[in-house]
Amino acid sequence: MGLQTPRMRDKQLNIRQKKELTESQFGSLLAIPAMLIFAIVILYPFIKSVYYSFTNEKLLSNETSWVGLENYLNNISSNNFIDLLINTLVFVSITTFVPLVIAFAWSIVLVQGFKGESFLRTITLYCWVLPIASIGLLWKWIFDANHGFLNELLSKWGLISENINFLGNTTTAMMAVCVAMIWHSFPWMMAFLLGSLNSVPQEQIEAVRMDGGNNMSILRNVILPHMKPILFVIVILSLINRFQHFDLIWVMTEGGPAHSTTTFSIEVYKQAFQNFNVGQAAATGMIWVLSLSILIFVYMRRLKEDA
């Protein structure tokens, strides 16, 4: 082979640069369909919602005018806003942390590998894969005031003298909805936790036992530090999901009685499709989005740190 002159090397370098540029352009072309779908399905509706939140847009009216911050001020000054915020926080907190504790305890039981463990794991996961509307109807029947299974059971045991209207009472409706949500949500947490528990280094557990440590020492010094990343992910994803949850609450109570189970998602639906006030619904949705964005920011920051 002959020696390459500087001119030949520059020519080859230019060819490589053109090739790289072509590959970059090709990659951009491949991304265009996804970007278009994102713009049409997500970005445009979001921008439209932001615009509507500053107008008096209504479904039954063709006239739209700019009202500025009026919708936001009406939401914040509303008598129901504090109740709406408290209901959302109560629902989100209970249905995130209670099933997490249950899932963690149940995962520790299942990871022991006893006979019938696979069957129990499968049965548990069925609670998660069932359609949420079906679960709502199931628990609505369980808590029914007249023919519900729970009232029948309590009466049979002599614990109540008359039926309790769980879903029609402002003091029990939220707890009933939370129970149904806990029953549905803890299996998927269990699936994540089981995978993490199975990857706990056994040599570390044996080292703690050799030092005289008991089960609580193993849990505190080995299992929890090892599972901290997955616990964080489960909590954040669950919080985000619960903040935007709608269907189970709607099937069971429709936000009642007396707004006792009305969360942000239910309120947005009612304002938009029952009161036909799209502008007010959009403003409520924006407040809802701002609340969610805090959790999303924390989650994305953690992902960036772990990358």
Q: What is the pLDDT of residue 1?
A: 47
Q: Among candidates 13, 233, 173, 190, which has minimal Cα distance to 100?
A: 190
pLDDT digit string, tens, across residues 157-169? 999 889 999 999 9
- 2 by Cβ neighbours in 10 Å (0-12 / 13-18 / 19+) ranks as exposed
In whole angstroms, give the CA distance from residue 59 to residue 104: 46
Q: Among candidates 247, 246, 248, 252, which has minimal Cα distance to 140?
A: 252
Is 172 in contact with 154 (CB distance < 8 Å)?
Answer: no
Q: Which residue has the higher pLDDT, 6 or 91?
A: 91
Is 111 in contact with 118 (CB distance < 8 Å)?
Answer: no
Average of pLDDT values for 75-89?
Answer: 91
Q: What is the C-alpha R_g of the chain? A: 27
Average of pLDDT values for 44-73?
Answer: 91
Q: 70-306 has which CATH code?
A: 1.10.3720.10
pLDDT digit string, tens, across residues 91-137? 999 999 999 999 999 999 988 878 888 888 888 888 888 899 999 99
Q: What is the pLDDT of residue 307?
A: 58
pLDDT at 207 over 90: no
Helix axes 278-306, 44-52, angle to 10 degrees: 130
pLDDT at 189 over 70: yes
Instruction: List the beta bridge partners of residue 66.
Output: 55
pLDDT digit string, tens, across residues 17-36? 555 556 667 677 788 888 89
Q: What is the pLDDT of residue 206?
A: 85
In whole angstroms, give the CA distance from residue 235 to residue 49: 28
Cα 61–Cα 65–Cα 68 angle in degrees, nearest 5: 130
Measure the N-to-C terminal CA separation of the chain; round to a whole number of Å. 46
Summary mean pLDDT of the chain:
87
**Backbone phi, psi, residue 214, to 5°:** -95, -170
pLDDT digit string, tens, across residues 131-144? 999 999 999 999 99
pLDDT at 203 over 50: yes
Question: In the structure, what pLDDT confidence band is assigned to residue 292 with cuts at 50, 70 and 90?
Answer: confident
Residue 85: both structure tokens together:
């915020």
